[in-house]
Every structure is written in structure tokens, then in C-alpha cells.
Structure 1
Amino acid sequence: MANCCDMKEGDVFYCEACGLELKVSKPCSCTSGSEDACSVPLTCCGKEMKKK
């Protein structure tokens, strides 16, 4: 699951359906598992994006 708190600078995520690619230029500042952590997975075309 691609949640922003697990993404690192330079990571690339892509959509298998349309080919969209997103590169992380500045990582999220939240902490995984904390109350304020982002919890929505990164999706495109109704499917979860994969890490390259």
C-alpha cells in the first residue's frame, strides 16, 4: 500500500492502467501509525499505484 508517510524523496509511483508516474520531491512529515498520519493509499484509475 502506497501511503504518503512511507514515501521517501526520489521514490517513483506509477499507475499500471494509464502509465501516470509521480516522483516524490518532498516527503510527508507525518509519522506512520500516529493519530495524525495520512491513511488514504495513493490511487489512480481506481487502483492503487505501485512503487517503481
Structure 2
Amino acid sequence: MNCSELREGQVLVCDECGFELKVVNACGEACCATDTCCTGNITCCGEPMRIKQ
């Protein structure tokens, strides 16, 4: 999961420790067009975070 795939209002959660991140503002198309947004997995506790259902 990288920031270009996230949308406003989504919550990422770490399955190991329960830490959560809420997307307040999505990075949008302009960020991705310039290759300045993150391109790797967003991780916590050494594992990729997942979208909370």
C-alpha cells in the first residue's frame, strides 16, 4: 500500500500493535505525476499496514 493508492477517509492499521493512520488529504494526481509521493509500502512493526475494514 503506497500513498497514491489511498483515499481521503481511509484508515490504515498495523496488525501487530494496533497503530492506526487516517488519511486526511489524499496526495492526488499531481503528486504521483512528479514521482514525489511514496512508492513503497507504508509499514509499522516491520510489516505493511493494511486498510481497516
State whether TM-score is above 0.5.
Answer: yes
Q: Percent identity?
A: 45
1:1-52 → structure 2 map (5 Å cutoff): 2-29=1-28, 30-31=31-32, 34=33, 36=35, 37-52=37-52
Distance change (3 Å), C-alpha of 1:35 and 1:26? closer
Q: RMSD in angstroms over aligned alpha carbons? A: 1.4
Return structure 1 stretches of 4+ with deviation > 6 angstroms: none
Larger helix percent: 2
Structure 2: give runs of 5+ residues left out of the alignment: none
TM-score by length of 2: 0.80
CA apart distance, 1:35: 5.8
TM-score by length of 1: 0.81
Structure 1: give runs of 5+ residues left out of the alignment: none
CA apart distance, 1:38: 2.4
